[in-house]
Amino acid sequence: MKDTANLGKFVDPAVTAKGEPRATVALTNPQTLWFNTGTLCNITCANCYIESSPENDRLVYLTEAEVVDYLDQLETRGWGVTEIGFTGGEPFMNPEMIGMARVALDRGYRVLILTNAMRPMMRRKMREGLVALREAHGDRLVLRVSLDHWDAARHEEERGPGSFDKTLQGMRWLRDAGVRMAVAGRTLWDESETESRQGYARLFAEEGFAIDAFDPGACVLFPEMDESVEVPEITTACWGILKKSPDSVMCSSSRMVVKRKGAARPTVLACTLLPYDPEFELGETLEEAERPVALNHPHCAKFCVLGGASCSA
């Protein structure tokens, strides 16, 4: 069924449907450069924003050499980035994942890898590589594990039968190997944030996971990104109305590198949440990616700016 909730909105990058000037966000404080290692994944989740699956190769594997090129560009451009993030798909499907992490860690960056901690991560080569990275770089390496809910049944509503136990097996291995962990969950269910964090806290205590469920950076709870939900467009006046700075929005502090199927070279995107929208493709180099981003998508409003607030005066 065709989505009509935002019909007429998010069309012109310069103005809203009402003719008001659309808000833009400049790259004012770059802190994280993300690399999408490829959209292939070992499982298919019910609500995956990037549609990762065992068949989706719209974004193909990045190589260690390509990552090195962008790390060189970071030094040339002097962005001041402190963290390199790797996402997918499932990053450990990429055979060069350990090498890509190593070159970033060797240059002094913190490295964050988003993973489901299932079979791809548990292959011998990947486990040996993670142990070597931990021994060389300690807590500068963090794996953020996708654990959609602290309850097995709810987690498996998203990721399929048996997925909860397989993820816990991976987390137990990470615990025993001394690899620092964080968790990413979802807020799909009818429970308060406090109730959700209390559930995670119980699970972490039972399993001996050194993760603080009440630290939003260690246990990240993401709202569902539903493009069919009607949201207001963000105008330049909204910053003052909401008492919010453009510097708090993700595209002020990060960019993501992807490689599209059939492309000769990777490209840089404005946002990790919009991997397929050509409007948010900024060019092949970090220099090209330094330009401001128009908030011309429902995700920009609901997920990044409003967070449940209203833009009405």
Q: What is the pLDDT of residues 37-82, one digit of tens each?
A: 999 999 898 888 888 999 999 999 999 999 999 999 999 999 999 9
Structure confidence at residue 302 (pLDDT): 81
pLDDT of 160 > 80? The answer is: yes
Nearest to 114 by CA among 222, 8, 7, 239: 222
Nearest to 257 by CA among 49, 34, 84: 34
The residue whose two tokens read 């690399």 is 35
Q: Does CATH place domain 31-222 in 3.20.20.70?
A: yes
Q: Where are the domains of the chain?
A: 31-222
pLDDT of 159 > 90? The answer is: yes
Structure-derived torsion over alpha carbons of residues 112, 63, 285, 68, reported in degrees to the nearest 10: 70
Q: Categorize the per-residue pLDDT at 309 as very low, low, confident or very high, splitting at 50, 70 and 90.
A: very low
Query: pTM score, two decimals?
Result: 0.93
pLDDT of 34 > 90? The answer is: yes
Structure confidence at residue 229 (pLDDT): 72
pLDDT of 301 > 90? The answer is: no
- Whether the Cβ atoms of residue 84 and residue 108 lie closer than 8 Å to each other: no
Angle at 90 between CA 126 and CA 31, to 5 degrees: 95
Whole-number Å distance between alpha carbons of 38 and 277: 16
Whole-number Å distance between alpha carbons of 189 and 211: 22
Q: Categorize the per-residue pLDDT at 227 as very low, low, confident or very high, splitting at 50, 70 and 90.
A: low
Whole-number Å distance between alpha carbons of 77 and 243: 31
Nearest to 127 by CA among 143, 103, 108: 143
> Which is more confident, 97 or 297?
97
Q: Categorize the per-residue pLDDT at 264 as very low, low, confident or very high, splitting at 50, 70 and 90.
A: very high
Amino acid at 25: V
SS (H, E, C) 89-150: CCHHHCCCHHHHHHHHHHCCCEEEEEECCCHHHHCHHHHHHHHHHHHHHHHHEEEEEECCCC
Structure confidence at residue 2 (pLDDT): 39
